[in-house]
Amino acid sequence: MHAAESSLSNATEQNGLSLSGYLIEIDGSSRSNPGPAGIGVRIIGPDGATIKEISHSIGIRTNNQAEYEALVCALREARELPQGPIVIRTDSELLFRQMTGRYRVRHPNIKPLHETARQLMSGRADITLELVPREANRSTDRLARLASGRDKQSTSVRPARKTSEDPASVKP
C-alpha cells in the first residue's frame, strides 16, 4: 500500500469538517470521450468553509485528460495558499495510481499533463493526493459537469463569501 493510500481512511472520515490544512477537491468531465470537457475544483479552508469554486470549460478532451487538467489547475491554485498541509482529493483511480507511481502513463496526450502535475508537486512535501469514492466527490463533479455542458448552467470561478456556507450565497 502506498503512503498516499494509507491516509485515505482518515481523510474520508474527516468529511472536510475539521482540517489541519487546506483541502482541494478535483474532478474532470467529458460529454463524450473525447468531447466537450470541463473541470471542477473546490478549495476548502482549515475551518471547513469553501474558499473558492472553479468550473471551467477546457475544450475537446477525454475524461482522463479533464481529470489531469483539474489536477494541474488545483496545483496552480495551491501555490497561492499559505504553506502548510494541502490534501488534493480525486475520485479518478487512474490519475491517482499514475501520480503515485503504481500505474505507468502510456497515453501520449496524458504524458505532458502528468509531467506538468509532477513538476508542480515537486518540492511541495506539504501536498498529498488522496483517492476518494465517487460519492464523496459529488459537489466537484457538479462543477465539472457544468463546465463540460453536461448540466445546463454557466461556468465561472466563484470565491465563496466568508459569512455563509450556503451555496446560494456564492458570488457569480
Determine whether 1 is exposed, middle or buried from the number of CB atoms within 10 Å of its CB (0-12, 13-18, 19+): exposed
Q: Do the bridges between strand 127-131 and strand 86-90 make them parallel or antiparallel, or are there none, so unpaired? A: parallel
User: pLDDT digit of tens for each residue in the chain (172 aa)?
Assistant: 333 333 333 333 334 445 789 999 999 999 998 999 999 999 999 999 999 999 999 999 999 999 999 999 999 999 999 989 999 999 999 999 999 999 999 999 999 999 999 999 998 899 999 999 999 999 999 999 999 986 555 445 555 544 334 434 333 3
- The verdict on pTM exceeding 0.85 is no
How many of the other CB atoms lie within 10 Å of CB of 89? 25
Give the integer Cα–Cα distance in Å for 155 and 59.
Answer: 13
Alpha-carbon gap, residue 161 to 170, rounded angstroms: 6
Kindly list the domain boundaries of the chain, sorted by start residue.
3-160
In this structure, whether the domain defined by 3-160 belongs to CATH 3.40.50.620 is answered with no
pLDDT of residue 83: 86
pLDDT in tens, 24-56: 999 999 999 899 999 999 999 999 999 999 999
24: Cα separation from own chain's centroid? 6
Residue 163: how many CA atoms within 13 Å on its side-chain side?
A: 3
User: Given this model, what pLDDT does residue 165 score?
Assistant: 40
* pLDDT for position 20: 86
Residue 144: which of 36, 33, 8 has the closest Cα?
36
